[in-house]
Copies of this chain bind each other. A is one copy, B any other.
Amino acid sequence: MEMIEEAARKIINMEVRGAAKIARFAAESLLKFAQKIDDDFDVKIKEAADMLLNTRPTAVSLYNAINYVMQYSGRTVEEKREDLIKRALEFINWVDSARREIGKIGVRRIKQSATILTHCNSSAALSIIKEAHEAGKDIEVFATESRPRYQGHITVRELKSEGIPVTLIVDSAVRYFMREMDYVIVGADAITVNGALINKIGTSQIALCANEFKVPFMVAAETYKFSPKTLAGETVVIEERSPREVAPEDLLSAGIRVRNPAFDITPRRYIDLIITEIGAIPPEMAYLVIKERFGFRLPTEEEIIVSPEHYD
């Protein structure tokens, strides 16, 4: 169990972060832990799963990862272990192959010469952009700095190092440049049953601007980002982070209040297309994706964490 405690700590400390990375890491951790269980397999692995789940109770990809792995079966410990390991490896493979596949599907939507806006730092979204560049398309990228944590700085370095011309702008300048964009491509933290996108704070107002000028707004999202619990009415909880990310100490000590939501919600009416590893779909199809990938089962009462302060 120490091993799991250590893994949990890494997620909590944000040594491991990003929706895809956390999910993959949790599957790996369960796999490794399962290899060491001698008896009481069901009880011990459940305890480990719960511990991991509690590190980021609102992360949809983590929930899906653990849920996928935990649907092992078998009569003996050996059978159970074997099946769990098989499932964990399947999930890990899912993570690894999905992003590649999204790049290959997404690139077909991009015309020969295009200017693309992106927000924050999504590996699935960048996978499309890089694929387009490698395919010899004439791509230029505008990236927002993505306050408060400036993930845009990572994005511009990453693209620049691939030789893609890139321009950094403040988050406030999105509408100013929107008329010149051919596409907006962003990633996803989660997709709900009614096609809403949960993603880095600021995404929804970018989508609104894209809609104003009818610039196609596309989301790159692996299917393990789709939230089966929203089918049961659950709303995705928006994490609120430390004021220190936003304000200098002197402002805080002067009694200035800070609100720092990490994500926001983009309703389906502003999304043109979601590019998943199983195809490019309209957001209204989220329900069907959930059904196909997660078996459509309504989650039980206890599987649901209800904290519905936000809705779109």
Contacts and interface: CB of A to CB of B under 8 A. Distances in A.
A205 interface: yes
Interface size class of A (residues with CB under 8 A): 35 or more
A212 B214 contact: yes
A12 interface: no
A126 B251 CA distance: 19
Interface string A277-308: 01111101111100000000010010010101
A3 interface: no
Interface stretch (A30-38, A47-55, A73-81, A166-174): A166-174
Contacts of A108: 232-235, 304, 306, 308
A132 to B, nearest CB: 10
A176 B287 contact: no
Given A165-B257, A170-B147, A209-B208, A153 B201 contact: no
Contacts of A204: 175-176
Given A168-B256, A280-B231, A284-B282, A309 B214 contact: no
Interface in A83-133: 104-112
B202 A173 contact: yes
B309 A111 contact: yes
B157 A106 contact: no
Identify the interface centre among A110, A146, A165, A287: most chain B CB within 10 Å of its CB: A287
17 contacts: A105-B233, A111-B310, A160-B254, A165-B257, A170-B201, A170-B246, A172-B200, A173-B260, A175-B264, A179-B214, A193-B279, A194-B280, A212-B214, A216-B311, A232-B280, A284-B285, A285-B287
